[in-house]
Amino acid sequence: MTDREGRRRAITMPPGMTDARAWEKQRALARARLPPQFAEIVTNTGVGKVVLIGDALAGFRPHTVASTSQAAFDAMIFADYVEGKVSREEWKRQTLGFARYIQKRGVDMGEHSQHMDLPLEDHIHDRNVASTPRQDEVYPEWATSF
């Protein structure tokens, strides 16, 4: 990707650096090729922020059994946030706290099961912890400090 000052960006385009001509090319492609609903999203997208939810926010390992649940919850609480039913702080705490905590849980479980010689009880404990209902999770401070 080449930004509006001609510098090549290997991974991401920082806010405000998109080349207007490149963006217009994407709009033209969207109008020509996408279904009308998606074309509308692309052509009406201006400068602003993108909210990441679900897998885009945090990709969990399968053994956390939490991925679809995360995507559904993130969508629902974002709707509540937009409607003013939950505060910005609560929305961030619930989405980012869960994302960080469960992502680490998945990595820890993987380390335990693949690289450590632990007693069976420890694996059963990991399995049981992964089945904690979302409303009973207690996020550690590192997961919810922003």
Ligand X SMILES: Cc1cc2nc3c(=O)[nH]c(=O)nc-3n(C[C@H](O)[C@H](O)[C@H](O)COP(=O)(O)OP(=O)(O)OC[C@H]3O[C@@H](n4cnc5c(N)ncnc54)[C@H](O)[C@@H]3O)c2cc1C
Binding site for ligand X (CB under 6 A): 38, 54-56, 65, 67-69, 71
Residue nearest to ligand X (CB): 54
Question: Smallest distance from the beta carbon of 116 to ligand X, in angstroms?
Answer: 25
Q: Which is nearer to ligand X, 2 or 68 (CB)?
A: 68
From residue 127, how far is each of 59, 97, 120 by CA, in Å? 19, 20, 11
Give the shortest CB-66-to-ligand X separation in angstroms: 6
Residue 143 makes CB contacts below 8 A (sequence gap 6+) with 96, 97, 98, 100, 101, 104
Residue with smaller CB distance to ligand X, 24 or 122: 24
Shortest reach from residue 7's CB to ligand X, in Å: 24
Quote the CA–CA distance of 19 and 27 in Å, as a whole number. 13
Nearer to ligand X, 69 or 113 (CB): 69
